[in-house]
A and B are shown apart, each in its own frame.
Chain A
């Protein structure tokens, strides 16, 4: 028995330093993305053009930010269904409030709203031990109603800088939203892998009682995860509104599902205990590429939805842990 300890473990890289795990699912997933890119660039003349690539990179920003936030929440063993209306509401606030204040202040209010929604969700879940699904479902509904009420106030034209500096801006060949996403990705990675709070988030999804008994304030870090998710959703809403130049209350319906899909395709486990930032990035990329390719081939949007559903199923099947 005791001698078995040595045999059991091959020398392996420490878990927290492993950036990319070479297993069938990950390698297969990477190959699938590469195949998609290669096939698309052979079959379509448009796919590899700078214009198309830039457009993909800009379009995936919304889902990218939402998915990173969703990852944090899913790691805790929870879920956040309220990100869709947060996107819409923050867009409305960031544009609408410009009638009364300069646009940076309007953005600040929009972001604060996202943060507040996240903290509210997290507080209800942590303090009253309510189920995340129910709490955020309620928030989703109420917020959606609230923002239609708000959107009935007349819209004013926005500051031109709001569009040209953010959503419509470029630095070199890259759109500003893309660059922002590229900055947020390592921040979330660092948070999860190198901060005390991030490790608590990672740990609590599997056994929050064990984490509590280790003397960690579970509630605080749980609220932090939901707060970050709400904040990122509001951020996504601001960027989306500034890219389109206009905010609409109907924006963001179904966005929570895309974010959850990206996390799950990337190896995240609903219920906690699995999921990496790199995986989420892969998931976001895969969904965006599929969207783009289907668009290039003029596939009708109903078929697109159908195909995306199938892709999610296949991805989850491929990652299934065989007992």
Chain B
């Protein structure tokens, strides 16, 4: 039995957890959900010994867990799969899986590589992914396989408590099912599983109990069968979500962006489409369909080697992101932590990064003006002001996303926004806000290209859809033609279209 008693924790004076108490019983799957910044990850880190709580204690069969020592937690049988991949790409799969407990030979400090490979392969096989070669370097695998390896690290020894932080975010449906099978198997044999997720479908599929955190406080703790989706959402965001997608009255203007026969073999070829001012055009496709590459080509990050790009009906040459920005194109990348933000710099500095010219006075940077402009913009975007002077790192994922958006909105003359998976990894309340921002951008006359893997959001917010398949435009659909089955059929190549308009 795991007893979490009156746990509190704050960072830099901001309370991340406030007096949280729950008990989890052996053999149960406990789902923990909440918005970004609700304290889920903090709770998990305390459990795994990565950080220490300010107050309270966690007892596992009477032993205090929360002492801030990962080794201690591991000795108690508590294993954690972190959301941020903690794999070492330059080492083999086997070494990663057994990191921290490499088998050794007679002198205790000598590694036994043979049993390392053997035990790692066994772990992977028992998990259900025997096709992963444990002697390869981790860097040779895709993100989803890396996530599987990450989970496998916690499965070497049957864990007594298994903590999973958003494990399925990058897994395919099939891979998720294998993971769920494993979770059921573990909990049947007496493991306590703590499953952190925003995906409500998963929570209802896998969990026995649900804990909802909001602003660091436990607001709901109940058995899953007694709950319904609305109840959980209400607890998470504090209000009912009748309308996730904003109502829109599209008023389509002039051509803003047009690409003709754009090609960059082998990623994509002969791609043509246009986006008008005030329009949201969605781009759907399976992984590897070339969506991100097209966006990068338009933005000049990796220029296409054939075809034309027209901005406001004038042909332009874009061979670097600088050109794209000059032509009024903004690109919000999928991986905001890598490409979008300087995490250790302040919120203001990040927000002002693309629009420095605006804050110059007599050739010098006017910090006060900069701060004023950025803070105003972020207020508009509803970024909870946790301190604009603090590093962006401290913001929740959704707020970080908004800082990136604000950064581009401050650039003068930006007319075209390209979003690549803007809602990946953010909670439902933040999603709603992002949709609202998209709608507002469009109604203020901006042209928006929205790349997404989430069908419901594309159906919910787009005016038109481009469906990509193997680097080509497989279909173009108007809003009246939107239909999940049709879209999937085109994306998977089951249905094909002639040369489209």
Residue positions of A touching B, CB distance < 8 A: 1-2, 4-6, 8-9, 11-17, 194-197, 199, 202-203, 206-207, 209-217, 273-274
Residue of chain A at shortest CB distance from B132: A5
21 residue pairs from A and B, CB less than 8 Å apart? A1-B286, A5-B131, A8-B140, A12-B135, A12-B136, A15-B95, A15-B135, A15-B136, A15-B137, A195-B110, A199-B91, A211-B100, A213-B48, A213-B70, A214-B70, A214-B99, A215-B71, A215-B74, A217-B71, A273-B89, A273-B90
User: How many Å lie between the Cα of A199 and that of B153 in the bound state?
Assistant: 17
In the complex, the answer to whether B172 meets A8 with C-beta atoms within 8 Å is: no
Would B109 and A195 count as touching, CB distance under 8 A? yes
Whether a CB of chain A sits under 8 angstroms from the CB of B59 is no
Given contacts A14-B117, A196-B109, A274-B90, are A8 and B48 in contact (CB under 8 A)?
A: no
Stretch in contact with the other chain, from B80-88, B203-211, B351-359: B80-88
Contact among A14, A194, A215, A217 with B110 in the assembled complex (CB-CB below 8 Å): A194
A1-B144, A5-B145, A9-B136 are contacts. A16–B90 as well, Cβ < 8 Å? no
Quick check: B86 and A213 within 8 Å, CB to CB? yes
Q: Is the CB of A206 within 8 A of B88?
A: yes
In the complex, what distance in Å separates the CA atom of A249 from the CA atom of B166? 59
Contact with A along B47-61 (1 / 0, CB 8 A): 010100000000000
C-alpha spacing A116/B174, complex, angstroms: 55
Provide the bound-state CA to CA distance between A225 and B111, in Å.
18
With A16-B113, A194-B110 as known contacts, state yes or no: A212 contacts B133, CB within 8 Å: no
Q: Hey, what's the 0/1 contact readout for B170-211 against A, CB within 8 Å counting as 1? A: 001011000000000000000000000000000000000000
Separation in Å of the B159 CB from the closest CB of chain A?
Answer: 13
| A12 surroundings in chain B (CB, below 8 A) | 133, 135-136
Q: Evaluate contact between B174 and A2: CB separation under 8 angstroms.
A: yes
Q: Does B106 count as interface, using CB distance less than 8 angstroms?
A: no
Residues of A within 8 A of B86 (CB): 207, 209-210, 213-214
A-B pairs with the 9 shortest C-beta distances?
A214-B100, A210-B86, A14-B135, A215-B71, A215-B100, A214-B99, A1-B172, A15-B92, A215-B74
A8 near B145: Cβ-Cβ < 8 Å = yes
Q: How far is the CA of A11 from the CA of B131 in the complex (A)?
A: 12
How many residues of chain B have a CB within 8 Å of chain A?
A: 45
Q: Which residues of B contact A1 (CB under 8 A)?
A: 144, 172, 174-175, 286-287
| Given A8-B141, A214-B70, also A206-B89 (CB < 8 A) | yes
Residue B142 lies at the interface, judged by CB distance under 8 Å to chain A: yes
A212 to B71, CA, bound (A): 9
- Name the interface residues of B89-121: CB closer than 8 Å to any CB of A: 89-92, 94-95, 99-102, 104, 108-111, 113, 117
**In the complex the two chains form, is B82's CB within 8 Å of A213's CB?**
yes
Within 8 Å of chain A (Cβ to Cβ): is B129?
yes
Q: A4-B142, A14-B117, A206-B90 are in contact. Are A215 and B132 (CB under 8 A)?
A: no
Instruction: Determine whether the beta carbon of A210 is less than 8 Å from that of B174.
Output: no
With known contacts A14-B135, A199-B102, A212–B70 Cβ distance under 8 A: yes
B72 to chain A, nearest CB (A): 9
- Give A1's nearest chain B residue, CB to CB: B172
Contacting pair A196 B88 (CB below 8 A)? no
- B87, B111, B132: the one within 8 Å of A210 (CB): B87
Minimum Cβ distance to chain B for residue A209 (Å):
7
A217 to B100, CA, bound (A): 9
In the bound assembly, the distance between CA atoms of A202 and B90 in angstroms comes to 9
Q: How far is the CB of B216 from chain A (nearest CB, A)?
A: 23
B148 closest partner in A (C-beta): A5
A-chain residues with CB within 8 Å of residue B88 when the two chains form the complex: 203, 206-207, 210-211, 273
In the bound complex, CA of A216 to CA of B136 (Å): 23
Q: Are A11 and B133 in contact (CB under 8 A)?
A: yes
Give every chain A residue within 8 A of B111 (Cβ-Cβ).
194-196, 199
